[in-house]
Amino acid sequence: MSMNPHKYEHGPVIDRAHLDRMTGGDQALTLEVLGLFRQQMALWSQSLQPDVAQEDWSDTAHSLKGAARGIGAWALGEVCAQAEAASRDAPLSRDQKRAFYEAMTIQMQEVMGAIAVIEHQIALAS
């Protein structure tokens, strides 16, 4: 089990060019998308706890992967992809789930910080 979100460590936490392409550059839509992502974060975090059933855990990793990639949070998407792949290959132990959870949580915290910066930048520009 190897996690490597670091292949994206030299890039931004959220790829603004990608996010702008996904929202058509619409600032209101960008704020809405980021707000929805932020709101979902608590649910994803709960559903990725090590005690959650394997299938539900894997489905949540898959959902978070897609949402992260949708906003251009490549490192978070990569950790989620690795977690999903590992959980589909074989049942994960509680310790394995915890290790992935910790890696995803670190990335989610970075994304939350990046969302706050983007929201602030948009507020200043309006």
Domain ranges of the chain: 15-125
What is the tens place of the pLDDT at every residue in 79-95?
A: 999 999 999 989 999 99
pLDDT of residue 9: 62
pLDDT above 80 for 112? yes
The model's pTM is: 0.91
Residues 6+ apart with CB under 8 A from 110: 13, 75, 76
Q: What is the pLDDT of residue 102?
A: 96
CATH class of 15-125: mainly alpha
According to the 3-state scheme, what is the secondary structure of 18-69? HHHHHHCCCHHHHHHHHHHHHHHHHHHHHHCCCCCCHHHHHHHHHHHHHHHH
Q: Among residues 122, 105, 100, which one has the least CA distance to residue 34?
A: 122
- Report the C-alpha gap between 22 and 53 in whole angstroms: 33
pLDDT in tens, 55-67: 999 999 999 999 9
Q: Is the dihedral angle over the CA atoms 18, 19, 22, 26 positive or is it negative?
A: negative
